[in-house]
Amino acid sequence: MPLKAYGIGFRYRPGPWVLRGVDIIVGPGEIVGLTGPSGLGKTTLARILAGYERPLEGAVSLNGNPLPASGYNPVQMVFQHPEKAVNPHWRMGDILREGWEPDDGLLAALCIEKIWFSRWPNELSGGELQRFCLARALGPKTSYLIADEMTSMLDAVTQAQIWHVVLDMVRERGLGVLVISHDMPLVRRLCNRVVDLW
């Protein structure tokens, strides 16, 4: 039941190709790292895998089928800048429950305080917002998580907390994860396999 992308090509209108002929595969319960210098299309590839962009060449498949066009997307992405990934006009509780109802165990593991539910996004710090973004993305129907520099803006303690929650889900229910990061020690610690995008 892997998440597969093959022969991916992408560019913005007449511009140069951002990606050409890229293949990547992530299996259930597998953690794959994606590294490479800035500007080589790592985030674009992530957005294609999560269904935010359509590739101009090649295709993405999940269990051999295309990604669902509507309903809950089993491939969820968490972005580098959480403040840009939440609706500023929604309260945190509504943001958290957009896709599912996270249980108390997960909230406790991510140190999410219930008194934050009535807050607006601009009243929380980046680290606090990112915990919500991760909880929001980890619904039971999520089979793959795309983590694009998910913890690079966070302090070391928060980074370790967040990754341990993800690692537990990988072990417990076979979540597959694509880790995009510049932080090589982190990538080596987390991943079974590393793809260098060139």
Give the 3-state secondary structure of residue 178. Answer: strand
* Tokens coding 7: 């022969």
**CB 178 → another protein: shortest distance, Å?**
19
By the rule CB under 8 A, 118 interacts with another protein:
no
**CB 198 → another protein: shortest distance, Å?**
14
**CB 33 → another protein: shortest distance, Å?**
13
Closer to another protein by CB, 1 or 184: give it: 184
How many residues sit close enough to another protein to count as binding (CB under 8 A)?
31
Sorted by sequence, the CB contacts under 8 Å of residue 19 that are 6+ apart come out as 8, 9, 10, 11, 41, 44, 45, 48, 55
- 51, 67 contact by CB (below 8 A): yes
By the rule CB under 8 A, 186 interacts with another protein:
yes
By the rule CB under 8 A, 192 interacts with another protein:
no
By the rule CB under 8 A, 170 interacts with another protein:
no
By the rule CB under 8 A, 44 interacts with another protein:
no
- Residue position matching structure tokens 């809950």: 72
Report H helices in 60-155.
92-96, 104-109, 126-137
Among 118, 189, 192, 196, binds another protein (CB under 8 A): 189
C-alpha to C-alpha distance for 115 and 93, rounded to whole angstroms: 9
| Contacts with another protein, residue ranges (CB under 8 A) | 37-38, 111-113, 115-116, 124-128, 152-161, 163-164, 182-186, 188-189
